[in-house]
Structure formats: C-alpha cells, structure tokens
Amino acid sequence: MEKLYHIQLDDSHNARYALLPGAPERVEKIASFLDDPKYLGQNREYITWLGQIEGENVLVMSTGMGGPSTAIGVEELFQTGVTNFLRIGTCGGIKLEVKGGDVVIATGAIRMDGTPDEYVPKEFPAVADFDFTASLVESAQQLKATYHTGIVHCKDSFYGQHNPSRMPIGYELTNKWEAWYKANCLASEMESSTLFIVSQVLGARAACVLNVIWNQERAKRGLEDPHQHDTELAISVAVEAIRKDIIKGKK
C-alpha cells in the first residue's frame, strides 16, 4: 500500500500494537523499553519508532495534543493493520487521593472534547477495552505502582481548565469542573475520549495509562502536592501490559 498522508506509514511494519504518547519527544524514550528499537520516520506531529515485545512488532507513535490529531493517527494506523492502541500520557489529578507520581488507568472518559461528536452522539460513552485495561491493572500491581482506576476528564482547552475565569464561558467551565470533582473523577487530560470512541467505531481495542504530574485540587486546599514529570513508571506499566496481552493471545 502507499504511505498514508499524515503518518507517512504503510503496512510494512507488520505491527498489531501501537503505544501512543502525545508528546513527540517521549517516543524515543518509550521505544527504548522495547527490543531492537528502530526509528521509522516523522511527519508533522507523528514521530514513529518500531520495536518488539515477546517477538511481536510494536509501534510507538506520537499523536500530538488533543483529539483531532489523535483521531487522524488512530484512523491511519488502523488502515496499516494496527488493532490495539495503548495511550501513555500525562494528566493532572482531580480526586484528592490522586497524587503526582501515581498512575491512572482510565476505564472511561468524560467527553468534553469535540472530535468524538463527529463520530457518535454525545450519549454514547467513551470507554476502554475491558481485557486490555485488565492487563494494565495486572501490570501496575506487578510493578507495585500506586494506581487508580476510573473516569478521567477529557478536554480540548488546556487554558479553559487552568484559567476558566478569563473565558467568556467561564461560568460553565467552573460549574462543570466542580461537578467532575464531586463525581470523583480521577484526573484531567486531552486524548483518551477520542482514542476510546474512534477505536470503538473502528472495531479496535484501546486502553490508557497516565502519569499524574500534579493535582491542582490538592494545591488549592494546601495539601502536599508532589510533582512528577518522569513517565517511566507509566511506560513500564504499558509495556508489561502489552507483554501480558501478547502472551495471553499465544496460549
């Protein structure tokens, strides 16, 4: 097949799994956790490496920030044969128990982003694949990570979250944020909802593991608010989850 327009990949990679960080600069680091990692190329926000887990080819490709570029990346990877998508991202905690350095495993997402609205009605839930997510939980337990499973908030506007009073619609943003907090939403990020919905529509599997950087609700209340920008633990959880998934599939 010809290389696809945005990601500039064809199906010669022979990979069924893809690890998807948002940030391009994280791709090489994630690839270093795989066997025999090789750089494949870059176009726009999409940097791609190829490695192996348990002898099976696995891609690592950045999606950029937000839903539109994530949807394009997933759509085009699917056309090349990828059917299992695992996001490795970062988030800010909302629930007070979620601290910087913890791992969040998203079972579903609040759809405050716009891209999924062009796939399904708003009532359709954005949920992760159960078995793939279970592998993430098993891996987090094996690695003795402090982890949380549950719902995350997925948004389009970073500054709408962090400076809502500046926005003409700030009253709505503030009220909804309070609702997410009261409903025990774990954390906030920008890609999971799109990943879950697009994968669902394509008939693919998707899961999401996030490194917690900080928690603005803890900071607001004067509680200890550790910061952790190193994503190594979340990467390890993701890689081991794919390993478990591959091994289960081989039995």
Encode pLDDT of 54-80 as tens digits: 999 999 999 999 999 999 999 999 999
The average pLDDT across 104-132 equals 98
Residue ranges of E strands in the chain: 17-20, 35-43, 46-53, 56-61, 84-93, 103-112, 126-127, 147-155, 187-189, 205-215
H/E element, 220: helix 216-220
**3-class DSSP assignment, residue 9:** coil
What class has domain 11-250?
alpha beta
Q: Which of 98, 92, 184, 181 is nearest to 146 (CA)?
A: 98
Residue 195 binned pLDDT confidence (cut-offs 50, 70, 90): very high
Whether the Cβ atoms of residue 198 and residue 73 lie closer than 8 Å to each other: no
pLDDT at 124 over 60: yes
pLDDT tens-digit profile of 77-97? 999 999 999 999 999 999 999
Per-residue model confidence (pLDDT) at position 249 = 87
Q: List the helix and strand counts (H, then E) for the chain.
A: 8, 10
Whole-model pTM: value is 0.97
Tokens (6 digits) for 64: 């950029």
Q: Could you give the CA distance from residue 46 to residue 42 in angstroms, rounded to a whole number?
A: 6
Per-residue model confidence (pLDDT) at position 251 = 56
The average pLDDT across 97-126 equals 98
pLDDT tens-digit profile of 146-180? 999 999 999 999 999 999 999 999 999 999 999 99
Per-residue model confidence (pLDDT) at position 86 = 98
Over pLDDT 70: what percentage of the chain? 100
The average pLDDT across 28-37 equals 98
